[in-house]
Chains A and B, each alone.
Chain A
């Protein structure tokens, strides 16, 4: 009986040892493979900084170079990793404008494509419709106010395009408009929040736009630069205080309060 137990324990130890060896070998292999792919992943990351129309070209050029490094350093995993990482990390210094020069692709003029108009309007009017829906008292008003906001956004876009305002400005102004309507809707929902939620809403909106961009949809600020963000913030504040001056908040707040009272559960 005792001998059998000893054999069983020895067998178990042997089995654990074998499994441990196998798992550690697999872990090593996994880490080695992941590290080997790190330069290519970095290249893809670097390429994301470039405008969408040249991103693929740039990424394929540099990926081919990483492939060459991998071929050259066959059997030298550490050298491969260091050279690959050195190549990829150094590319982080390159500014996006270099990509256009490198590929000989001119900066695309702003064209009022149907998809672009639709996506801009969707992005800006989404908030507008929400603001309209919150601030209006009846469903007819919801529709009318929402269409009013969305219509004014489209009109703004068309006027800006007709004036041939630079794309950068258009995106910034559209973003500011989106901020404004969302801020107003937030303010209408929670009138006592004051100025603080404006900043919060701006961050949330920026995050939402980024998310839409990450999902592969066209969005006004998916490649927003800091300069554009600054223009947008200033424009947003100017628009907001204009709205404030026109007593827009006072107009929206009672409607929101009425809506809140309608939604609140009956007392008693």
Chain B
């Protein structure tokens, strides 16, 4: 899993029920569109994300319908697991406290 994918998944996991659009994810992660959309494509292809058209009346809203992405059930499980594994892998090891030893060795 790349860092880009991890960042995107983390954004989705902040509220899994909330569908997000591409520009929203770009702003949240700071990635450009050319980086976000290929990763979204991979996740859609792997069926971790669901892509759906916003259900609005464009004439009434005065704007075109957006394509929204949200995590699938499988995606939520897998994303949580993979992020936990990644987090575990990149967590720095606990710092060992230096042991004090008696000068003359063991008594």
Residues of A within 8 A of B (CB): 57, 60-65, 67-69, 71, 86-88, 90-95, 98-99, 101-104
Tell me, yes or no, whether B66 is within 8 Å of chain A by CB: yes
CB interface residues, B 1-17, toward A, < 8 Å:
none
Question: How many Å from the CB of B41 to the closest CB on chain A?
Answer: 4
Whether B51 lies near A65 (C-beta < 8 A) is no
Q: Considering the chains assembled together, what is the distance between the CA atoms of A93 and B32 in angstroms?
A: 11
Given contacts A68-B66, A90-B34, contact A102 B23 (CB under 8 A): no
* Chain B: CB-nearest residue to A72: B23
The answer to whether B41 and A67 have CB atoms under 8 Å apart is no
Cβ distance A89 to chain B, nearest Cβ, rounded Å: 8
Closest to B50 in A: A104
Given the known A-B contacts A90-B33, A94-B34, A102-B41, are A64 and B51 also in contact in the complex, defined by CB atoms under 8 Å? no
A-B pairs with CB below 8 Å: how many? 66
B30 interface contact, C-beta 8 A: no
- Would you call B34 and A92 a contact (CB within 8 A)? yes
* Minimum C-beta distance from B87 to chain A (A): 27
Q: Is the CB of B64 within 8 A of A98?
A: no
Q: List 5 A-B contacts (CB under 8 A).
A: A87-B32, A90-B35, A94-B34, A98-B37, A101-B44
Bound CA span A104–B64, Å: 21
- In the bound complex, CA of A86 to CA of B63 (Å): 21
Q: Which listed residue (A71, A91, A92, A102) contacts B40, Cβ 8 A?
A: A102
Q: Spell out B's residues near A (CB within 8 Å).
A: 21-23, 26, 32-35, 37-38, 40-42, 44-45, 51, 63-67
* CB closest chain-A residue, reference B31: A90
Quick check: B45 and A101 within 8 Å, CB to CB? yes
Give chain B residues whose Cβ lies under 8 Å from the Cβ of A57.
67
Asked if B41 and A65 sit within 8 Å, CB to CB, the answer is no
A60 touching B45, Cβ below 8 Å: no
- A90 to B42 alpha-carbon distance, docked (Å): 18
B41–A98 CB distance below 8 A: yes
A-B pairs, top 5 by smallest CB distance, nearest first, are A90-B34, A101-B41, A93-B34, A102-B41, A90-B32
**For B32, B38, B44, B65, which residue has the most chain A Cβ atoms within 10 angstroms?**
B38
A69 contacts B23, CB within 8 Å? yes
What's the nearest-Cβ distance from chain A to residue B31, in Å?
Answer: 9
